[in-house]
């Protein structure tokens, strides 16, 4: 007996009815996530505002929030939705009514209490292998931000440190504690 599995396409994912959950597609397989908890939402909003104000004031590009899908692979399709993303002005182009094709320059993932370290590492590695330049792993419980570069370098920013966006978001600088206040 042969069993076949239907792999979902980005177009099928796009047409799913809104069920209040977050969905991503990895190599055609549908992943469903429950809505994030309060702290996750508050940290995501705060960082979106801080980064967004700088990006807008300096005309650096476009900020995207967690419901934005990025189609980063085809046949089978992969559509991922980071908590926050940024694309430099030179790469933005025309904004479509479908998923953004290709990866963002900066991906920001805010960790939830149930996230496992291995899962988070795989997610960051996936983004970087698909073309993201930098991934920020924001940990509200530890009050840290780990910056992962495409080069393989990593840097951990503690609560009293100044996080900067160089080289992807030039001039952006914020004390890590401010993200969590």
| Mean pLDDT (whole number) for 152-156 | 96
Instruction: Pick 3 or 106 by higher pLDDT.
Output: 106
> What residue ranges do the domains of the chain occupy?
36-179
N-to-C CA span, the chain: 57
- Whether the pTM exceeds 0.85: the reply is yes
Mean pLDDT is lowest, of 19-33, 132-146, 150-164, for 19-33
> Residue 115 — pLDDT band, cuts 50, 70, 90?
confident
> Which pLDDT score is estimated for 113?
83
CA distance 149 to 144: 16
pLDDT at 1 over 90: no
Tell me: the pLDDT tens digits for 4-57?
568 999 999 999 998 888 899 999 999 998 888 899 999 999 999 999 999 999
CA distance 145 to 88: 21
Report whether CATH 3.90.1570.10 matches the domain 36-179: yes
Which one, of 68, 26, 23, 21, lies nearest residue 44 by Cα?
68
């Amino acid at each position: 007996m042969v069993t076949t599995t239907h792999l979902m396409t980005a177009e099928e994912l796009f047409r799913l009815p809104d069920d209040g959950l977050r969905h991503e597609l990895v190599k055609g397989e549908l992943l469903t996530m429950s809505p994030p908890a309060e702290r996750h939402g508050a940290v995501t909003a705060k960082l979106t505002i801080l980064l967004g104000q700088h990006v807008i004031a300096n005309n650096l590009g476009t900020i995207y929030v967690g419901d934005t899908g990025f189609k980063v692979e085809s046949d089978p399709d992969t559509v991922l939705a980071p908590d926050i993303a940024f694309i430099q002005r030179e790469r933005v182009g025309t904004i479509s009514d479908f998923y953004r094709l290709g990866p963002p320059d900066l991906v920001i993932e805010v960790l939830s209490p149930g996230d496992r370290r291995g899962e988070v590492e795989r997610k960051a590695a996936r983004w970087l292998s698909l073309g993201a330049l930098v991934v920020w792993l924001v940990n509200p419980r530890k009050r840290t931000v780990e910056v992962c570069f495409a080069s393989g370098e990593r840097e951990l920013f503690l609560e009293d440190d100044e996080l900067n966006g160089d080289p992807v978001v030039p001039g952006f600088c914020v004390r890590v504690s401010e993200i969590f206040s």
